[in-house]
Amino acid sequence: MVIRSKAPLRLGLAGGGTDVAPYSDIYGGAILNATISMYAYATIIPRNDSKIILHSVDKHESYEYPSTEKLPIDGGLDLHKGVHNRVMKDFKPDKIPPFDLYTYVDAPPGSGLGTSSTLTVAILGAFAEWFQLPLGEYDMASLAYDIERVDLQMAGGKQDQYAATFGGVNFMEFKKDNVIVNPLRIRSDYMNELAHNLVLYYTETSRLSSQIIETQSSNVLEKKEDSIEAMHKLKEQSLMMKEALLKGHLDEIGRILDFGWQHKKNMATDISNSFIDEIYQTAMDAGATGGKISGAGGGGFMIFYCPLMTRNSVIEALQEKYGGQAKRYDYVVNGLKTWSVNEK
């Protein structure tokens, strides 16, 4: 038997960072995101011996262990181990099964597309398919969040697990112990135009998002007014983006992105830097009307709204000056998918 899963990566279009505690616990957060045709994949193949072997195909890493209920959390594919350990703990199968677990992600770590959380959802989905675990969408996303944030103590927000599980374009609301996912019914021609005009540009840099997120959280705890006010503005941005997409006011999206970007930079240090600022200004000079860094900031992918026929001029200006690459993508409506087949 071969058990497989895939979960989509996401673009955070507005409100990014307001899903991170303690801001979301104190003030409530709101985010608008959309899943795209880039994925995290997981495959489980049961073994006939007493070994557990973990493989990250894209990172070229493999680790072998004896079949056991709890694998060591030691920095080697900890997401894989964290999911295994939690499934064994919570659902207690009759015997600890030996298996190979293979994973692959269509974007590199630290790229700002929610890779770590999406991979966690994909791995958890594969185990759920294998053991036929009774997990609905909210259960799946919540458990994936707990594995990352509680079990593995990885800093971050909540949007990525829910985006990967539910899929589609969603307006998400975050409160202390509650997440509400509101799917948005947006006309297909609006989404096609958005995919055409919203350039996804990889800076060929990465960042450790946990450091930025920890600073952001500390700023809230220390009641730093500039940072908190910036998060309030990002929450306001999510409502602006929601209205623009639903009504088809696509010419406003660049301005809304720029509004959020100018405030996002005040949430924490290292969200932007001179290199990112130069890239942003180059895109704007070439015809973009707004943009932002994807994810927590510091590097990875950036997005730019390029109306009418400015897309190519923006891409050419960026690649001529900085290299990097523009990634083609489409929006996808489906979230986590799992399946199994009998193959020898």
CA pair distance 177, 154, nearest whole angstrom: 18
Any bridge partners for residue 99, and if so which?
Answer: 46, 52
The dihedral sign for the CA sequence 193, 198, 200, 201: positive
Residues contacting 58, CB < 8 A, separation 6+? 103, 104, 105, 108
CA pair distance 334, 168, nearest whole angstrom: 6
Residue matched to tokens 């690649």: 319
Any bridge partners for residue 71, and if so which?
Answer: none
Residue by residue, DSSP assigns 154-178 as ----SHHHHHHHH-SEEEEEEETTE
Residue 292 class from Cβ within 10 Å (0-12 exposed, 13-18 middle, 19+ buried)? buried
DSSP letter assigned to residue 81? H
Residue 68 class from Cβ within 10 Å (0-12 exposed, 13-18 middle, 19+ buried)? middle
What is the largest distance, in Å, between two alpha-carbon atoms of the chain?
Answer: 62
CA pair distance 301, 309, nearest whole angstrom: 22
Given the residues 139, 160, 177, 270, select the one marked as catalytic: 160
In Å, what is the CA distance from 342 to each residue of 40, 44, 338?
22, 12, 14
Q: Could you tell me if 80 and 123 are in contact, meaning their C-beta atoms sit under 8 angstroms apart?
A: yes
Instruction: Say whether 177 is catalytic.
Output: no
Residues contacting 262, CB < 8 A, separation 6+? none
Give catalytic residue positions: 160
